[in-house]
Every structure is written in structure tokens, then in C-alpha cells.
Structure 1
Amino acid sequence: MPADAPADRSRRDACPGAVTVHSAADGGLARIRVPGGTMTAPQFHAVFAASAALGDGQLELTSRANIQIRGLRPGAEAKLAERLREAGLLPSLSHERVRNIIASPLGADQPLVDELDRELCSWPELAGLPGRFLITVDSQGDVSGLGGDVGLARVGPDWALLLAGQDTGVRVPENQTVTTVIAAAQAFLVERRQQGSTAWRLHELTEGPQRILRRLALPVTRRRLMVRPAVPLRTGFATPRTLVVGAPLGRLDAAQCRELLRAAGPTLRLTPWRSVVLRGVEPSTIIGRDLITDPNSPWHGVTSCAGRPGCVKALADVRADAAAWLRERPEPSTQRVHWSGCSRRCGRPQGQVIDVVATEEGYEVNEKLTTDTAAALAVARRNT
């Protein structure tokens, strides 16, 4: 859904989880929350082994640095939950859909994320947060622009408190970060209840950030942090021994998962740009299996929803069409491009994006209708 589209919250938030599985055209869809994006190598192996045994054998990386399994057979939820619990990826059944914490993929903030996650799961009322409610922890200036409901952004020795993606002027000492974020999440639930609202996100409340800030009653500075738009982390070596590996359209097959594990150290870190950060990688390491390591790859910045046949609402096989377009593209786009199987635009990144949207008549590219796939590809190429 585009950022400026009106929100319809008349229905229940049906955001899938690892236990609350969504029924898709290709079977059950489970979304496994990975706060901060960090997984141990055994955990990553456990997830793709679960997909091989219970689902379609592939993994999907999401725009919130989580991971999905598709094609689950009926009744597989209990077996999946058991596997995830044994791997340490399901610490709370009641809170598993609300453990939405994104952190800077190249930062060193996983201990803070882990503490936030434990505290979040310790408050029974916070299980009532919507599955879309998002917390960001930004030490590198790269994820605040993703528009979290509550966020922390590093400012010198302290952290700036962000609400609905904007700096509030509150500065939080290191030892008060967790309590402040939890208090803001609790205040959201109280304010939503008092407004009689069904909002899923903080900005959907009437004067949401202002009212939450008043409830927190924290001192405010006049200086404000300028929140920059989120820019996708490019694939390739980010440092001499830190490699960012992209997954084409965010999808990994079993061979690609094994290739990642072959090159990985003790941990892997998922990013909000459907890529994986590997640390301790030798500069001579070659990653194969059609994974993306070239910072100038034409796949950079291109995303899509599931499309046909996985989604019953999709009007086209957008993955195949996007791949066909990419095969004809000589160089990477200077803008991000998102292919959607219908007007819901699932998985669309935040910010400026060229929208290629399937309709009954063909594709719309930035709301201009074309009559066939070839024309859509040509328009998308001209726009990039």
C-alpha cells in the first residue's frame, strides 16, 4: 500500500506469525520474527530445514528483516512451532507477532535489541500490540527512515526518541532506553483505547506522537534530529571482512541457504532490504548459487510481492515478469522498483519507489496503464 493511501482498519489485523499462519493460495504462510535480524548459523539452518520438511523448501526475506516459510501443509503449524522453539526462535507464544524490532544491520546493537525483546515479552498487555507496530534501533543513521512507530537513534552518548519516524526532541540515556521504549508502546495502547481507535500504527491515531509524548512527560530539547530517508544497503563488501549478500527478489532456495551457511561465521544478520550480512568473510570468498554480491547488480533495489501462484489476489506472476525485465536491463536502476500483483502493493518499500502494479488490463507503471507485460517492461526501463 502506498504511504499516502488511506488506512482501512475496519478488519482485524491479520498479520501472519510463526504460529498464527496465514492461508495463502500455495498453502500456509508463516512469518518468523527475528528481532534485530540476527540469527545464529544453527538457527538459520533450522528454519530452512523446517521449510524443506514442512513447506515449499524455500525462504523469503521480508522488508522488516524477518523470514517467511510458504507452502505449509495443513496441520504443519504445531510441528513448525516445535522446531522454532527448539531453535530458540519462539521465546513467547503470546507475543510472537509483536516482536518487531529493526536495527542497523552493520551496527553493534544486538544486545540492546535482545534486552528490548525480553522486556517486551514480559508485559502481558503488550501482546495486544498490532502485528504491524514497529520499533527501530538506529546507531548508523540507516533505519530510522523506515518509519517505525517508536524508535531510538544514536545522538552522541545518548539516544533520540522517535515517534512515528520523527524526532521528538527527547534524549534518552543509555540506561533508560528499554524502559522508555516500553513506556511508549504501553502509552500507544492506552491512547488507542481512549480514542476508541482500531489503529495499527502510531501515526494513525489522532495527534498520535504528540499525545504519546505528553503521556511520557519527558524533558524535550529544542534541537531535532533530521531523519534521513532509508537507503538500501548495497550488496558487496561493506568492510574488508563484512559481506552483504542479496537474495534475488528476497527469495532463497535450499542451495542458496547452504551457500550462505558455507560462507557465514557463527551468526548471520538479515537486513530490511532482503539481504544478509556475513561477518568474518575472507576477501577472496566467492559466493555462488545466483546470490547477489556485486554492488552494481541490476537486481539492486528491485523488489516484488509473492504474485501468482502464491497469492490468490495476484493478477500476474510478478516474480517471473520482474526477472524477465531484469534480464533485459544492462545496468542497475538509480531508483527502487517494486512489482505488485495487485493494488494492495504488499511488501512495497518506504520512500520513493517506481510502482509496477498488475491490473486486469495489464500493468500500471506509476499509475499509467500499459496493455501487456512487454509494454510494462519497456515503461519500467524508461523510468529507471
Structure 2
Amino acid sequence: MLEKNSKPIHIVIFFSRIFVGVMLVFLLVFCLVKTPISPSSASLKQSLSKLDYSGIFASMLQSENHLLFIDKNVNSNISLSKVLFTLVTNINPSKSITLLGREIPGLDMYNTEIAIAGKGTNLTNLPFDPPPKSNDDIIKERPIADNQNLNNESNSEEKSKQGDSSNNTLKKVVYIYQSHSWESFLPLISGAKVPNDATSTNNKINVVAVGSRLTQALIDKGIGVEHDTSNMGAELKAKNWNYNNAYSLSREHAQEVMTGDRDVKFLIDIHRDSQRKAVTTTTIKGKKYARIDIIVGKENKNYKDNLNYAKELNSMLEKLYPGLSRGVFIKSKSEGNGIYNQDLSNRSILLEFGGVDNNLEELYNAVDAFAKVFSDYYWKAEEVNG
């Protein structure tokens, strides 16, 4: 009789131990970080993907029946406490930087994964995008530097805004936009000295100018483009939103375009890096270029397709313009937005052209190079598709 009743007792003891263990982990986490616990989907996915479920199940069975034989090939050395700790804190005990990144501002950018490292790219110079000091910075129209002869530049912005006549007959397959349209470049702004000054709502000197140049370059190659030249800072303010809502706002724009035009398949969100000139500039055959970062979000259903797409573009860039690309980088929610609207298309990327110190000549050289590579990719795909 005693033997029959011992089984439920063992089960109660087993689950009690698990409950106590979980509570101890939560208590330990609270003592360490003193912040609300909110595991990200990235940490959950990463941790769960690495679990050996057969080993866990075998270990649980053996804990109840010590005569149970476990194959030595099955990994039974599983630290449940480590798994639980990682799940609830997004901190990997074997990777100290995940702990320090929460305490030292800016250090969490080192969580960015390098899928492909371009020339000179390493953990010390990863692309990063610090938030503006205040919401006022994203709605300032700063004066153009005196040495900028913008009148002699191409009328890409005007054509992009009004609709170039040569684009009217083209099927629009590319949507170019700028979630952080205020991102600008120090050489183009009068009196700008430090990276935090590199913001402006003037579309002649911010990343919208880069988008306009790319739009016209692709149109010239027979590829139809829809370019969004919206002042995102002003729209965020009108909605009483802040910098953190930029991708939600650009998502509304992108969805509207894709709903109205089902031919759009390629999404390109243009930004600029915050690294300095030594990192973001290269010389190829005597010509200076602003280097390009290719960013892929990990937190969406199209992650693998977009990553392969980014890798292919990167390979083509390296072949024609060695050193132009800084590489392909993967970001999850712990390092940024993690989605970047890339769930809307499996041919969607975020491109960073240059950094805060690059000038228009360097930027436009990079844009024209990318347009050449993208055009080769696009027409090759069209040929394959018949």
C-alpha cells in the first residue's frame, strides 16, 4: 500500500522542486538587475532553439527512476537554471557583455551579429544609431553649409517628388523610404561640428537626398520606383509620437503603398551610420565612396529570405566595388527594432549610406554603385522569371 502511494508523492516533490527553482531564479534576477523582467522574443527563440529536448526529457525520467538507462550519446548535462536565467533576463551567463550592455549605455550595440564582415569591420566599429538628444532635433531645418553648390547637383529630389515622366510608364517595383528622414551629414550643415548636429529636415542635405539620387539612378536603368520624401519628424510630432515610433510610422506608409500597388516587391529603407569618416569612407580606383551597411532584422517571418537577398547583393558589391560594403549585419529587438518592416516583403533591406562625416560626392558615388549592382540583380532575376 505504501509503495502505491509513493508515486504521487514523488511527482509532487518533483514539481515542487521545479517551482522552487524557478522562484529562486526570479529572486536572483530581481536582486541582480532590480528592473522589471521582460524576456524578449529574440532571447526566447535563441534559447529554445538550442535546447536538447530529448536530453531534457531523458533527464526528467531518470530523476524519477534511477534505474533508467540513458544513452551516453544523449546530452544529459543540461543546466535548467542557466536556461531559465537566460529566458527571464535576456542575459547569457557565458557571455558577460549581455549583462554589461544593460548597465553601460551604448554597449548593447555589440550584440549586433555580423553575418558577413566587410573589409576592416569588427566588434569595435559596428554600425550604430544613437537616439537624438531630444525630439526637437528631428524637426530642425538647419542651414546648408556655404560650400555646398547644390544647384548644380541633379534634380533628383524634385523629379522624385513630382514624378519623373520617364517613371510614369514603368511598373513600380521598388519602394524607397527613410524611416529617420532627419538623419543628415556634418559637411552639409553650416556650423555643425559634432555627430549630434547631423540632423536636418531639409531634403537637400539629409538621407532623403540619398533616396532621391537612388530613385533617379534606378529609373535611368529602367526600374520603376516609388519614393517617399515625407518629413518623418514632423509627422511624428503631429501624432504626438517620438523617435521610438519611427518604424511604426514608416510601416503605415509602406503598407499604404503596397496595398495600392501590388507590383512593389522591393523595400529599401535608407539611413546613415553614426560612425566617423575613417570607418565609413573608402577609395576605389582613385574615387572616394561612402561605405554601405546592409542591415537585416531578425524578428520577422522573412528573416532568412531577406538575409540571403542581402548576402547576394553584398557579394555583387564586393565583386564590382571591393571594400564598398562594410558587411551584412543582423539585429534583433535587443539591439534595435528587429523588424524594420521587413516582414512586409522578402526582398526588404535597410541600407546605411556613409556616416556623419561623408559629403555628397562620396554619398552619390556609393548610391550610383549600389544602383548598378541592384540593377544587375533585378534584371537577372527578371530574366530567370521569364
The TM-score range, normalised by the shorter chain, is under 0.3
Task: Give the TM-score taking structure 1 as reference length.
Answer: 0.26
Bigger fraction of residues in strand:
1
Bigger fraction of residues in helix:
2
Which of the pair has the greater relative contact order for Cα pairs under 8 Å at 6+ separation?
A: 2
Task: Give the TM-score taking structure 2 as reference length.
Answer: 0.26
